[in-house]
Amino acid sequence: MPVNPMPFDTIDKTAKQLVLTVQDYSLFAARAFMNLWTEPRYWPEFLMQSDIVGFGSASIVLLSGFFTGGVLALQSAATLSQFGATAVTGQFVSITMIRELGRCLRASWWPAATPLRWPANSAPWW
């Protein structure tokens, strides 16, 4: 079995591959960012897909909000009962859902936003 005369050869190739991957991603991200302001924009397709994505995810958002609120109510009612404040569980859950969990639920479906443009003759990515 031949011995590799240069043991650092594989490390060198791996490092170069990693740098090239980062470079490719950086160039891709820069081109995508710059293309946000170039024409053409396909507004009818964008609005149609936004409607599909928005209305299509309404059931998921409602279900996740309902179950998250239910779990939050169960957990907070146990804690609030120690202080005799179970009557404010509803207010506590609603304020917490709006102030804190609203941001988390919004962030969870943000990646589903559709791109502003793509050629009309190509299929969407999903």
DSSP state of 15: H
Q: How far apart are CA 109 and CA 97, in angstroms?
A: 16
**3-state SS, residue 12:** helix
User: 64 in a domain, yes or no?
Assistant: yes
Residue 38 inside a domain? The answer is no
Residue 4 lies in a domain: no
Asked whether residue 29 is assigned to any structural domain, the reply reads no
Quote the Cα angle for 113-23-37, to 5°: 40
Q: Can the peptide bond before residue 40 be classed as cis, meaning omega within 30 degrees of 0?
A: yes
Q: Which structural domain, as residue segments, surrounds residue 74? A: 53-113
Q: Residue 114 CB: number of other CB atoms within 10 A?
A: 19
Residue 114 pLDDT: 45
85 occurs within a structural domain: yes
Gap between the Cα atoms of 52 and 58, Å rounded: 10
pLDDT for residue 68: 83
Phi/psi of residue 27, nearest 5 degrees: -65, -40
pLDDT tens readout for residues 13-34: 888 899 999 999 999 999 988 8
Q: What is the mean pLDDT of each run of 10 residues along the chain (126 residues)?
A: 63 87 94 84 83 79 83 85 85 81 65 50 50
Number of domains in the chain: 1
List alpha helices for the chain, DSSP H.
9-34, 43-56, 58-81, 89-96, 102-109
Residues 6 or more apart whose CB falls under 8 angstroms from that of 125 comprise: 115
The answer to whether residue 105 is domain-embedded is: yes
The answer as to whether 69 is a domain residue is yes
- Per-residue model confidence (pLDDT) at position 28: 94
pTM: 0.44
